[in-house]
Amino acid sequence: MLYMLLVAGAIACAIQAVRAKRLFLSALWLAGLSALTAVILYAVGAREVAVIELSVGAGLVTVLFVFAIGVAGEEALHARAIVPKPLAWALIIASSALLGWMFLPSLNGEAPSAESTFASALWQERGLDVLVQIVLIFAGVLGVLGLLAEARAPAENRAMAKAPLTPAEAGAAPSPSPVRATPEEVHA
Amino acid sequence: MTVTTPQIVLVGVLALLGVGLYGLLVIRNLIQIVVALQVAAKAAILALVVAGELSGQINLGQSLAATVIVADTIVAVVGLALAVQVRKRLGTLDVEALSTLKG
């Protein structure tokens, strides 16, 4: 019963996150979905991943969404969908039915007992995955730089506009690309 | 017929995947497309952990799910950065505005 409630809540949060008209609400529903996913993972027995999902999915990603929405601004699009909705529903039902047909018969199999610890599974058996994660984190740092460039560029432009000009330029007509003076030139 | 826990979670996985795919197909707002992608990624994380539990190797499933969480987060970061830059340059978040190459 607990699992049913958790899964139903997660599905409701997902539907609201996709249907919400305001982007802030969509981000908040997504945070709720992440929190419920973490609870389901904890209940299933995946405690380490539950903690990671709660901190990263419900924390970091939500902060990133709110920041990006604050920079980009709200924009509600009411235009027609690119893919017709009946076609989208048909594709989703077909793919879900195919996945269910593949998954559900395998639920009755006996589980082999060749268990290793989480640390050995992560650092030894899946060591290559850790290297890939490091590369991905570098890509993420570049992405954050791209995200912050929006907020930083206007401040840099204002600082450039306030920088003092050389004495010759101060008396001359404004040029399209003025050369900034060094502090020594200004004092001289 | 009793419904087991993995069956309940797998039904949830299918539903979450369906909602995410629907969002990817129908939504035109770039930021909400990233939200739909996140919903589909949650389904993948749950599916990996449940598959690990069913095969008796839940820690292997957890390590794969941790990799998916990292990749999913980076995809969100890069996608949001792209959305912000598109909004800055084109003035809209509509994916239709990105199709500047006309055949």
Give me the amino acid identity at B67.
Answer: T
- Please indicate, yes or no, if residue A42 is contained in any of the structural domains: yes
Q: Does A89 touch chain B (CB under 8 A)?
A: yes
| A74 and chain B in contact, CB less than 8 A | no
pLDDT of residue A73: 81
pLDDT of amino acid B78: 87
Say which residue, A155 or A12, is predicted with more confidence: A12
Candidates B1, B13, B39, B95, partner chain A, best to mutate (most A CBs within 10 A) = B39
- Contacting residues for B68 by C-beta, under 8 A, at least 6 apart: B41, B44, B45, B48
Residue ranges making up the domain that contains A9: 1-76
In a domain, A81, yes or no: no
Cβ partners under 8 Å of residue A29, min gap 6: A13, A14, A16, A17, A20
Residue A177 has pLDDT above 50, yes or no: no
Asked if residue A15 belongs to a domain, the reply is: yes
What digits encode the pLDDT tens for the residues A40-53? 999 988 888 899 99
Cα–Cα dist A139/A133, whole Å: 10
Q: With an 8 Å Cβ cutoff, is A167 touching chain B? A: no
Q: State whether A70 and A133 are in the same domain.
A: no
Q: Please give, rounded to a whole number of angstroms, the shortest distance from the CA of A154 to a CA of chain B.
A: 12
Of A11, A61, A95, the CB nearest to B38: A61
d(CA A164, CA A162): 6
- Asked if A45 is an interface residue toward chain B (Cβ–Cβ < 8 A), one would say yes
- A63 at the B interface (CB within 8 A)? no
> Considering its fold, how many domains does chain A have in total?
2
Residue A56 domain flag: yes
Domains of chain B, by residue range, sit at 30-89
Among all residues of chain B, which has the CA nearest to that of A116?
Answer: B59
Residue A37 lies in a domain: yes
Residues making up chain B, counted from first to last: 103
CB B64 within 8 A of CB A46: no
Distance from CA of B2 to the nearest CA of A (A): 12
Residue A105 lies in a domain: no
Q: Which one of A28-37, A92-101, A120-129, B9-18 scores highest in mean pLDDT?
A: A28-37
**Using a CB-CB distance cutoff of 8 angstroms, which residues of chain B are in contact with residue A103?**
10, 14
Specify the pTM. Answer: 0.77
Residue-wise pLDDT tens digits, B13-67: 999 999 999 998 888 888 999 999 999 999 999 999 998 888 888 888 888 898 8
Is there a domain that residue A159 lies in? yes
